[in-house]
Amino acid sequence: MLRKFLSGIYLLTAVSVGLGAFGHGSQWSRHILPALKGVAPDVVSVLALVWFWVSGAMLAFGVLLVLAWWRGGRGDVRVAGVSGVVGAFYLIEGIYGGIYLAPFFYLFAVQALLLLGTTWGARRLTAPGA
């Protein structure tokens, strides 16, 4: 029962990581581009490229996490590394962004802790002798 609960929390978190890409991408035309009025067009183009690359990376992270959830549910413990890498990246970025930019960025740290915590908990429940 606890394993299913952890699995559900992990999946919801993984999906939220992937869907975050669309929220991130939509901010370009609403908030970023208008703030760049007067900036050289080539600089705006580079910033747009980086902005949408980050959105794509968020979507890719979400897809990888969902695939890891699917494989982990079939007993493949090797996929826990995916959660570890994405979780560590989101934890560092979330704490840094929360401190230096805006409290909103703590959301990334929460996502990271959910990914790392559910992965750790599920692995402990499936470990030999558990």
What is this structure's pTM? 0.90
46 belongs to a structural domain:
no
35 belongs to a structural domain:
no
What tokens were used for 101? 């930019």
Reduced DSSP (H G I as helix, E B as strand, rest coil) percent helix, strand, coil of the chain, to 5: 90, 0, 10
CA-based torsion, 108, 33, 54, 96: positive or negative: negative
19-30: pLDDT as tens digits: 999 999 999 999
Which residue type, as a one-letter code, is found at position 51? W
Average pLDDT over residues 6-35: 96
45 belongs to a structural domain:
no
Which of 2-6, 40-44, 104-108 shows the lowest per-residue confidence on average (mean pLDDT)? 2-6
Other beta carbons less than 10 A from residue 124's beta carbon:
12
Q: Does residue 77 surpass a pLDDT of 90? A: no
Number of domains in the chain: 1
Residue span of the structural domain in which 78 resides: 2-23+56-126
What tokens were used for 26? 């939509």
- In the chain, the N- to C-terminal Cα span, in Å, equals 14
96-108: pLDDT as tens digits: 999 999 999 999 9
73 CB contacts (<8 Å, ≥6 apart)?
7
